[in-house]
Structure 1
Amino acid sequence: MSLSSEKVGDVLVVSVAGQINSANAAEVESGLLAYVQQGERLCVLDFGKLEYISSAGLRVVLMLAKNLKQQSGKLVLCTLQPQVHEVFDISGFLSILTVVDERQAAISQLSA
């Protein structure tokens, strides 16, 4: 699993590759929440290279969304692989999180 980030205007785009599971969820959570603690408020999670996410990974995404909301920030997810999209769908997360198909659409949604 790897995290990489880049700034696009005021938006932080974090690309996640590999898997988020119970073995690395705490590490992913601390990495993502560190961005919020550093003052980031507009965040895109690009899951284009994410192959698998467990319930522990879903919890991490929910924690990030909650922390951003408490700071008047926003989170948008993009480019979910079919198997990852299915996990978000089955868990009901698609109804509570903003998910778009393309990275640029996610950035545009936060830049508007």
Structure 2
Amino acid sequence: MAPDLSELAAAAAARGAYLAGVGVAVLLAASFLPVAESSCVRDNSLVRDISQMPQSSYGIEGLSHITVAGALNHGMKEVEVWLQTISPGQRTPIHRHSCEEVFTVLKGKGLEF
């Protein structure tokens, strides 16, 4: 005998409510993760003197961060270019960004977890 449509609808509604609850919980948890924000004022010029750009450490000893070009500050869609200097033995905390990250180590070596 085929299942009753009202039974199927009730089961689907119960699963949907559960999944919606899980989705809300995930979004709520993600809202507490730190988000890196740009450290540079809006500047659309093509050539920039990096030594004159504002630096931030975000309160992390041994970290220097400069936003060279960023989506919000420089009119780009989804690209950010950062220059970071991290002292030996230091690390960045677990965090997230609204864009992908590409690391190029210019001096020394590092580990990605």
TM-score (norm 1): 0.30
Which structure: larger Rg? 2
TM-score (norm 2): 0.30
Higher RCO, Cα 8 Å, sep 6+: 1
Report the structure, 1 or 2, having the larger strand content. 1
Report the structure, 1 or 2, having the larger helix content. 1
